[in-house]
Amino acid sequence: MAPRSRGRIAIPTVKPLPDNLRLSPTNSNVVKTLSKLSRPSLLSLAASWCARDLQHSCAPFILAEDEDDPSDAAYDAATSLAQVEALYSEELPARKGTKREIVDRILAGDWRHGISLYQLATAETQYILDQPSSNRWTAFKLQRHDEAPETNLPSFHPQTFLRNLQQEIAPLAKAHYTLSTPFSFPGTVLRIYLHDTPYNTQSALRTSSKHGGSVNKSIFVLFPTGTPYIYVSLSSGGANVIDADSKSIQKFVVEAIPKSLSSPGSRYKLASTALTTRSLTALLAHRGAERTNSAAGGWSIFADEKKDGNALDYMKLEEGTLALPDEEEDLNINEKENIRRNLKRSMPFSHTDPTATLSSLKVKRLKLVAAGRFGTYGLPDDGKNFNRLDVRLTDPFSRTPGAEDEHGDTFTPNIRLSFQGSHVFAGIRKMVEAGIVDGEAMPGWMTGEAGVSVGTVRDGRIEVKM
């Protein structure tokens, strides 16, 4: 039955949800989203809601002259918009406090009448900008269907694209759309908030929220400036969507993106780039508009502006050029004694420094090898975090050592490797510096030079199907 609201009948419509539609301050999604933000972000966000041009959708609760503030109210109601703006831009930032205090002040005080969909959208967008590794992002490449040059890509007009996208999604799902161009991201951010009802009324939102609908169904689409790549995150807050219907709707939304950018004379599609990560900075480094797109791993030194010359200036050194003097002969008595002492201290299964038993000359050589293979890449604080790397080895092996392959006497084992961590390639670099991984013999894809998070390895090279 269609929801009723004080004598009015709600009729299903294909129009998107308006910005000024409000959610209850006690809505779990509203409380959770605001509670994830830091205190400075909350203050900045609340102050921005007081802008004069946003009062249609973000107006705070203002007590009229002929009204009395309820005695049970947690906070005194403001009497003017300037008073609310001064509170969040001057008074509260000037004194110490907790973010819980700010959340309570927003929900139980100045916006006690509800948080609009636009306000919720700005809060979620602020969170992904404050925490670039909070969501899981997948990079896609916008391509034409007819193998045309990449220079023939469409111009991005936000309002035209948004209107076309609404027409594509409207028959299947009700949604709220928000476009923004934040200062901290070089591009445009689109947030799509899916809703489980054909009605765009206050009561429909309240009924759906009461039954657990429209929770964690925000889709973020980022359009970096000057690049054919698009970043998509299918679930806000890093939540996993397990409902089959939700997955199908989200897949439909992603497929609608290239259709909305297409025109009758040119059709586009989204191609996979084999890159999924939680780091926005890593996406910008590998699928952005900078010169680092094809300069990962050891090639990263040529993307550094401080490095003179180019790759053609480097020649292969003759064998033995990097050889170091015999370590055992160069060790002094004190260094040998330190090695023996460290060997005695090490116990089975104890987590000790792998380089503790190595000479300083050997440790220095391992670090030089790691620097040669990784360059300026794979550093703990470089911001190019890959939290996962999955590869499948497809190299055939001969059943008989030394036998020829002419009789087909080979087999291909099903070997899959998965590296996981906060920064996979920084971890591999550390293992090279510790002597755990042979930095000279390891393949190039282990240095991250391919710039992918999933692929197939054949003959020592990683193959990526775009």
Is a pLDDT exceeding 70 seen at residue 164?
yes
Structure-model confidence comparison of residues 15 and 168, the more confident one:
168
Please give the pLDDT value at position 46: 93
- The model's confidence at residue 126, banded by pLDDT at 50, 70 and 90, is very high
pLDDT tens string 249-268: 778 888 899 999 888 878 88
User: Mean of the pLDDT values across residues 351-370?
Assistant: 78
Distance CA 130, CA 265 (A): 40
Structure-model confidence comparison of residues 164 and 66, the more confident one:
164
Is a pLDDT exceeding 50 seen at residue 211?
no
- Max mean pLDDT range (58-72, 89-103, 133-147, 342-356): 89-103
Q: In this structure, are residues 272 and 347 in contact, taking their beta carbons and an 8 Å threshold?
A: no
Distance CA 177, CA 398 (A): 57
The candidate with the shortest Cα–Cα distance to 121, out of 79, 176, 74, is: 176
High-pLDDT (> 70) share of the chain, % = 73
pLDDT tens string 301-315: 777 665 665 656 655
What phi and psi, each to the nearest 5 degrees, are found at residue 266?
-150, 125
**Stated pTM of the model:** 0.79
- The model's confidence at residue 30, banded by pLDDT at 50, 70 and 90, is very high
The candidate with the shortest Cα–Cα distance to 227, out of 262, 255, 186, is: 186
Is a pLDDT exceeding 90 seen at residue 37?
yes
Q: Which helix (H) or strand (E) holds 84?
A: helix 81-86
Mean pLDDT of the chain: 78
Please give the pLDDT value at position 212: 47
* Residues listed for the chain: 466
Structure-model confidence comparison of residues 14 and 76, the more confident one:
76
Distance CA 123, CA 44 (A): 10
DSSP 148-206: --TT-PPP--HHHHHHHHHHHHTTT-EEEEEEE--TTSSEEEEEEEEES-S--SHHHHH
Strands 454-458 and 461-463: antiparallel
Please give the pLDDT value at position 317: 46
Please give the pLDDT value at position 450: 84
Please give the pLDDT value at position 124: 94
Is a pLDDT exceeding 70 seen at residue 338?
no
User: Mean of the pLDDT values across residues 370-398?
Assistant: 85
